């Protein structure tokens, strides 16, 4: 079972549902509004998760999901994005129709990488993908070309914002907030809950 530390660290290198208006490509979109002050945290000295209402940088306010003809776009808005997005660890998890579950994260050399979950996990490079930090909007945006996961007609997607704080009074602290899950602190493992299928536009 993947520990919260391992999953969030790998990314480092509820909710009301409101439909978005259709885009020019008629892509299916979804907006998930998340409760604020519901971030969970655990530390080296206190490994059992607890809520951290004071945490702003990992506290998701809403996430917009959009699947166009050739790109999956995920825009996460939090209470505060530091300049340059330092220490933020946004995670997208997706499952294409008929396919396996992937975690999406930035690649060391640029672009993105998709890592298959499970014991036989593997990493699939996605050099055309991008993660953009938007400090003025307190947001980050993933753009994942559909070709990186198979260009299926539908895909299920989830999103989580994480942050690691090094060297605090209780040791390293890991904060995280899943946009689709309330009461995250009661869960023993890091959740990334998927939504209903999004149709390719």
- Name every residue whose Cβ is closer than 8 Å to that of residue 38 and which is 6 or more positions away in sequence: 51, 53, 59, 177, 182, 183, 184
- Name every residue whose Cβ is closer than 8 Å to that of residue 83 and which is 6 or more positions away in sequence: 135
C-alpha to C-alpha distance for 177 and 10, rounded to whole angstroms: 16
Residues in the chain: 201
- Name every residue whose Cβ is closer than 8 Å to that of residue 113 and which is 6 or more positions away in sequence: 104, 105, 106, 107, 123, 124, 125, 126
SS3 5: helix
- Name every residue whose Cβ is closer than 8 Å to that of residue 161 and which is 6 or more positions away in sequence: 58, 59, 60, 76, 78, 88, 89, 90, 91, 176, 177, 179
- Stretch 16-38: mean pLDDT: 65
Per the structure, the complete domain to which residue 31 belongs is given by 4-199
- The number of distinct structural domains making up the chain is 1
pLDDT tens sequence across 178-193: 998 875 555 555 678 9
| Of 137 and 4, more confident | 137
The pair of three-digit structure tokens given for residue 96, joined into one six-digit string? 């294409």
pLDDT tens sequence across 49-102: 888 999 999 999 999 999 999 999 999 999 999 877 778 899 999 999 999 999
User: Is residue 93 within 8 Å of 101, Cβ to Cβ?
Assistant: yes
């Amino acid at each position: 079972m993947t520990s919260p530390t391992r999953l969030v660290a790998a990314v480092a290198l509820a909710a009301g549902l409101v439909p978005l208006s259709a885009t020019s490509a008629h892509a299916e979109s979804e907006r998930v509004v998340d409760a604020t002050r519901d971030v969970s945290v655990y530390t080296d000295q206190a490994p059992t998760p607890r809520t951290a209402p004071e945490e702003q940088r990992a506290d998701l306010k809403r996430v917009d999901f959009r699947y166009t003809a050739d790109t999956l776009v995920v825009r996460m808005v939090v209470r505060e994005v530091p300049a340059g997005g330092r220490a933020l660890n946004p995670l997208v998890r997706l499952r294409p129709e008929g396919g396996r579950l992937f975690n999406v994260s930035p690649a060391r050399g640029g672009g993105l990488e998709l890592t298959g979950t499970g014991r036989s996990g593997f990493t699939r490079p996605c050099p055309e993908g991008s993660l953009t930090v938007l400090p003025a909007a307190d947001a980050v945006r993933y753009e994942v070309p559909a070709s990186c996961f198979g260009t299926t007609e539908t895909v299920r997607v989830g999103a989580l914002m994480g942050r690691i704080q090094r060297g605090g009074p209780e040791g390293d602290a890991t904060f995280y907030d899943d946009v689709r899950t309330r009461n995250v602190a009661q869960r023993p493992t890091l959740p990334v809950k998927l939504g209903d299928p999004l149709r390719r536009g």
